[in-house]
Amino acid sequence: MLPNDYQPEHYESLLERKVARYLPSFEALGAPPPSLYRSPTVAFRMRAEFRVWHEGDDLNFVMFDRAKPKEPVIIETFPFASLSIQKLLPVLRDALKNDAELRHKLFQIEFLSTLSGDILVTLIYHRKLGDEWAEAAKALSSKLALQVVGRSRGQKVVLDRDWLTETLTVQGKTFHYKQPEQAFIQPNARVNESMLTWACNQAPPSTRDLLELYCGIGNFTIPLSEKFRFVLATEVSKVATRAASENLSLNNVNNVEFARLAAEEVTQALSGTREFRRLKALSTPIADYDLETVLVDPPRAGLDSATLSLVSEFDQILYISCNPLTLLDNLGQLAESHDIISLAFFDQFPYTDHLECGINLRRRGHNEGTE
């Protein structure tokens, strides 16, 4: 996404084009009319990353056009980023340009921000970072009131902390999330709030349990925990599962347990074909969960065949997808046994072809019980 892609005057027509590209395929599977959740047209990305381009004494943040991959595009302004990132860009560029220690072999910069305006910056180098770098980075952190992390191959230097706390509002209630540097988070915070609200609306209060696959830092887990008796949430990333556990405490949630399992391992654990030492710490044995609903938020490749078979055994399936094509492919099998109760499109990435989707499926003959 380059600055010249910014076309707020064409936002509605671009969104309409995206929806029109995919909607007929969902309708062919019996989906009802979709709910459409728009994005702010400016300042919607809480994350951004740029290459650092050195030319003589000059230093700039740049991106590359896929059509011209060897020609850097200098970033003077970046209207997609949060206002705090936009405000910081020129100030930070000048600070780095004028500091020989901080700019030496710096090749990439990553920004993480929150709705409240907090910022964490990761500076990535082609050299080992020593005490002189740490002193210069501390001065930068103090001067610009931001968190700074330094990285190079096999090295990570944290001056204060390597995370921020985001606060999101869902159904009138606030939830707090520890977001570690370089962990996956939904980049568009306002659309994320819409996604969480939609998911909660699809889950009426239940006396049974939820299984969540690919839970990340607990983005969906935390608000959905209020809808179920217990939640068993799984994630393979150590960084994400640590943050997810801390987010339970941050939100006073006590009916969720996290298991560090890949999706295919969950299938083995639930079927009893393999035992995992990682599950020994669960206060409730996995066999004792009364699982009725499953939530999946898989990577772009969608669900593999084993996970798809596991998911198809549930009465209710909440499927969040970042790739409509792989979602449609998975729905080809799921629609054999389940009806699509609701469909939602979330414009997570305005001005691009990317479209996030939400699907609520119910096994045929099962009491719907949703709004």
Q: What is the CATH number of the domain that holds 124?
A: 2.40.50.1070
Query: Would residue 369 count as lying in a domain?
Result: no
Residue 369 pLDDT class (50, 70, 90 cuts): very low
Tokens standing for residue 274: 């393999």
Domain termination residue (choose one: 112, 137, 163) = 163
Say yes or no: 108 and 172 in one domain. no
Say yes or no: 195 and 220 in one domain. yes
Query: Would residue 370 count as lying in a domain?
Result: no
Poorest-pLDDT segment among 135-139, 202-206, 269-273, 354-358: 269-273
Query: Would residue 276 count as lying in a domain?
Result: yes
- How confident is the model over 306-313, as a mean pLDDT? 92
Tokens standing for residue 234: 């799984």
Say yes or no: 318 and 176 in one domain. yes
Query: Phi and psi dihedrals of 184, rounded to 5?
Result: -75, 130
Say yes or no: 36 and 108 in one domain. no
Q: How far apart are CA 39 and CA 203, in angstroms?
A: 24
Burial of residue 283 (number of CB atoms within 10 Å: 0-12, 13-18, 19+): exposed
Burial of residue 180 (number of CB atoms within 10 Å: 0-12, 13-18, 19+): buried
pLDDT at 68 over 90: no
pTM reported for the whole predicted model: 0.94
Say yes or no: 32 and 97 in one domain. no
Amino acid at 224: L
Number of domains in the chain: 2
Q: How far apart are CA 297 and CA 213, in angstroms?
A: 7
Tokens standing for residue 2: 């380059």
- How confident is the model over 225-245, as a mean pLDDT? 94
Domain termination residue (choose one: 115, 136, 163) = 163
Query: Phi and psi dihedrals of 36, rounded to 5?
Result: -120, 125
pLDDT at 366 over 90: no
pLDDT at 371 over 60: no
Q: How far apart are CA 37 and CA 348, in angstroms?
A: 9
Q: Between residues 268 and 239, which one has the greater pLDDT?
A: 239
Helix axis angle for 131-144 and 83-97, nearest 10°, is: 140
- How confident is the model over 127-152, as a mean pLDDT? 98
Say yes or no: 103 and 214 in one domain. no
- How confident is the model over 333-342, as a mean pLDDT? 96
Of 263, 261, 302, give the one whose Cα is nearest residue 282. Answer: 261
- How confident is the model over 197-209, as a mean pLDDT? 96
Q: Are 186 and 168 in contact (CB under 8 A)?
A: no
Residue 367 pLDDT class (50, 70, 90 cuts): low
Query: Would residue 267 count as lying in a domain?
Result: yes
Say yes or no: 120 and 267 in one domain. no
Domain with 139, as residue range(s), is 47-163
Q: How far apart are CA 200 and CA 179, in angstroms?
A: 21
As a three-state string, the secondary structure of the chain is CCHHHCCHHHHHHHHHHHHHHHHHHHHHCCCCCCEEECCCCCCCECEEEEEEEEECCEEEEEEEECCEEEEEEECCCCCCECHHHHHHHHHHHHHHHCCHHHHCCEEEEEEEECCCCCEEEEEEECCCCCHHHHHHHHHHHHHHCCEEEEEECCEEEECCCCEEEEEEEECCEEEEEEEECCCCCCCEHHHHHHHHHHHHHCCCCCCCEEEEECCCCCCCHHHHHHHCCCEEEECCCHHHHHHHHHHHHHCCCCCEEEECCCHHHHHHHHHCCCCCHHHCCCCCCHHHCCEEEEEECCCCCCCCHHHHHHHCCCCEEEEEECCHHHHHHHHHHHCCCEEEEEEEEECCCCCCCCCEEEEEEEECCCCCCCC
Say yes or no: 171 and 25 in one domain. yes
Of 224, 88, 217, give the one whose Cα is nearest residue 143. Answer: 88
Residues marked active site are found at: 322, 356
Indicate which CATH number applies to the domain containing 193. 3.40.50.150
Say yes or no: 37 and 68 in one domain. no
Burial of residue 294 (number of CB atoms within 10 Å: 0-12, 13-18, 19+): buried
Domain termination residue (choose one: 163, 179, 200) = 163
Query: Phi and psi dihedrals of 183, rounded to 5?
Result: -85, 155
Query: Phi and psi dihedrals of 161, rounded to 5?
Result: -150, 160
pLDDT at 269 over 90: no
Say yes or no: 225 and 328 in one domain. yes
Query: Phi and psi dihedrals of 273, rounded to 5?
Result: -80, -10
Query: Would residue 368 count as lying in a domain?
Result: no
